[in-house]
Amino acid sequence: MVEGLAVPSIPLYFYNTEKREKEVFRPHSHNLVKMYTCGPTVYHYAHIGNFRTYVFEDLLRRTLRFFGYQVHQVMNLTDVDDKTIKGAIHLEQSLEDYTKPYKNAFFCDIKTLGIEPAENYPAATDYIPQMIDFIQKLIDKGYAYKSKDHSIYFSIEKFPRYGRLSHLKLEELKVGAGDRRIAEDEYDKENVSDFVLWKAYDPTRDGHIFWESPFGKGRPGWHLECSAMAHSLLGESIDIHCGAVDNVFPHHENEIAQSEAFSDKGFVRYWLHSEHLIVNHKKMSKSLGNFYTLRDLLNKGFSGTEVRYMLLHTHYRTQLNFTFEGMEGARSSLQRINDFIRRMQEIATPDAPHSEQAREALQRAIPKFSQALADDLNISVALAALFDLMHEFNSLQDQQALTEGDAAEALYVLQQFNRVIGCFSFETEEPPPLYLQEMLEQREEARKQKNWELADQLRHEILASGYLMEDTPHGPRLKKK
């Protein structure tokens, strides 16, 4: 093996939303990274905007592992909130029956997208006792109170650090001056106010969906759910917390308030937020109806890896505009990479000496790729390291200058890259069946004889068998679709 192909041991830098700058990453305990990622609300199929965020989190997770960290990732499933309750009541189903198909679809979709599984996927409804204990402690410590509507609210006045993440100035907003509180799970910065921890039962709104608690019948608020699950599974302080930018306020701001009021400890060391997937300048969202699910794209003939590549190849803090041209672009980039892999796999010249130029290209590739990722997941530069390597190797091979050993090392480097990118295909294709090979030859013969009808018929039969015909300098060859 050529020297210099090991992953370098270098510091990682991440942009911390709280500090508004890139910071060197140092987890609390030497090698273990505790990471909490807000998961899907299972009232519908997740759309590819949601998956942009989950693919970014997967890139982060894989990068940490690439650099030798062990990761304990928790991703919650929000199966009780305003939206799931509304959906279940509307269809006269139990919350469990209503959310189950969407939970299953989510797991199926992340597999298709090559997202590595998190260590835990807690569903909010499995943590109600922990949530009740959490709220009780906040009441006991004077941070929470019961209002006239019997719901329990968090008093942001009692938590002077409120607004730290989203850089809100409470004094300027005059919060707490009036009697402002908000019972909805989702609201905006215009409505900074006390927020709900336990929502009292309302028979017309909640029907059969409620839990008993010392504060009366009801159900937890969405923000509280994440704090309680993070605390139960990862402890009082965690290293990284992620989500998309729309989670910064109020969701993550409220999580900080609840968690730090609860434990008197710092909750999160690094906050990382991804920008949105947009369509014509607007956030892709269910409420705007401008969304595609993964299934929609699979039905249009794209593969999971093509969608993954499209979502991954733009830096996570830059908005990504979804278009079908973008999907085609992702398809052709992946095709180039996979064709390169096939080309390297086909090199069989064991005796020639190693190419010096190949060696140098290999030695540049891993450090460049690693440094790019270590710089706040700079995926464009990381991918440039890959394309540069491919370019140099392709030119060398055009001159027949590569040995089997060079090719094996290039494949090794691509396998290392793929630990992070997770899109490449190393499986060598089985040779096409003999009868198709014969058909291809008959078709060539028919074309030579200008028997277009027969040539066309053979072409249809080959395509129908799942193969494409590709022109190469050595004549046409069959390629699996």
User: Of the listed pieces 1-9, 282-290, 418-426, 450-458, which binds ligand AMP according to CB under 6 A?
Assistant: 282-290
In this structure, the number of other CB atoms found within 10 A of the CB of residue 300 comes to 10
Is residue 40 close enough to count as binding ligand AMP by CB under 6 A?
yes
Is residue 285 close enough to count as binding ligand AMP by CB under 6 A?
yes
Q: How far is the CB of 284 from Zn ion (least distance, A)?
A: 19
Report the site for Zn ion in 220-239 (rule: CB under 5 A).
226
Is residue 84 close enough to count as binding ligand AMP by CB under 6 A?
no
Q: How far is the CB of 419 from Zn ion (least distance, A)?
A: 28
Q: Which does 443 bind (CB under 5 to 8 A by kind): Zn ion, ligand AMP, none?
A: none
Q: How far is the CB of 273 from ligand AMP (least distance, A)?
A: 8
Residues 6 or more apart whose CB falls under 8 angstroms from that of 456 comprise none
Is residue 244 close enough to count as binding ligand AMP by CB under 6 A?
yes
Q: Using the minimum distance from each CB to ligand AMP, give the nearer residue, 199 or 443.
A: 199
Report the site for ligand AMP in 43-62 (rule: CB under 6 A).
49-50, 52-53
Beta bridge partners of 478: 469
State both tokens at 255.
């999580």
State both tokens at 223.
């923000």
Q: Using the minimum distance from each CB to ligand AMP, give the nearer residue, 99 or 370.
A: 99
User: Of the listed pieces 31-39, 56-64, 285-293, 353-361, which binds Zn ion according to CB under 5 A?
Assistant: 31-39
Is residue 243 close enough to count as binding ligand AMP by CB under 6 A?
yes
Q: Which does 99 bind (CB under 5 to 8 A by kind): ligand AMP, Zn ion, none?
A: none
Is residue 268 close enough to count as binding Zn ion by CB under 5 A?
no
**Nearest-angstrom CA–CA distance, 59 and 63:** 6
**Nearest-angstrom CA–CA distance, 195 and 175:** 12
Is residue 248 close enough to count as binding Zn ion by CB under 5 A?
no
Is residue 283 close enough to count as binding ligand AMP by CB under 6 A?
yes
In this structure, the number of other CB atoms found within 10 A of the CB of residue 140 comes to 9
Q: Using the minimum distance from each CB to ligand AMP, give the nearer residue, 45 or 159.
A: 45
Among all residues, whose Cβ is closest to ligand AMP? 49
User: Of the listed pieces 7-15, 94-102, 278-286, 408-416, which binds ligand AMP according to CB under 6 A?
Assistant: 278-286
Backbone angles phi, psi at 358, to 5 degrees: -65, -45
Q: Which of 12, 38, 71, 138 binds Zn ion (CB under 5 A)?
A: 38
C-alpha distances (whole Å) from 240 to each of 26, 61, 264 are: 10, 10, 18
**Nearest-angstrom CA–CA distance, 27 and 240:** 8
Report the site for Zn ion in 380-409 (rule: CB under 5 A).
none
Residues 6 or more apart whose CB falls under 8 angstroms from that of 134 comprise 224, 227, 228, 231, 258, 262
Q: How many binding residues for ligand AMP (CB under 6 A)?
A: 16
Q: How far is the CB of 469 from ligand AMP (least distance, A)?
A: 39
Binding site for ligand AMP (CB under 6 A): 38, 40-41, 49-50, 52-53, 243-244, 246-247, 276-277, 283-285
Binding site for Zn ion (CB under 5 A): 38, 226
